[in-house]
Amino acid sequence: MNLSQQEWASQLEADSNAVILDVRTEDECNEGIIPNAIMIDIYKGQGFIYELEALDKSKNYYVYCKAGGRSGQACDIMGQMGFQNTYNLVGGFMQWQGETKLP
């Protein structure tokens, strides 16, 4: 599900079952991440799938990338793998106004 920056942030804050997933490259992540994000590069191909398979499907995943495209793809892939609740950050990290930190 696509959420605006504000919807994503407020829903994340209220969600006790939330996991933040950053699907950007390592170089992109080194410029800053949303605190507590798990980093799994979508460009790893099959490696990306293997890392997703290790995640708890009962959690709610808040997914982001640089602009919202790759995270949208990641949400689609996760849905096909049986993840019930995935939320794509529209506009991605480029438009993120919330807290950030270095990984």
Paired with 85 in beta bridges are 60
Strands (E), the chain: 2-3, 18-22, 38-39, 60-64, 85-89
Burial 42-72 (b: 16+ CB within 10 A, else e): beeeeebeeebeebeeebbbbbbbbbbebbb
Is 65 labeled as catalytic in the residue annotation? yes
The first and second tokens of residue 8, run together, are: 């994503």
Q: From the candidates 65, 74, 78, 89, which is the catalytic residue?
A: 65
Active site residues: 65
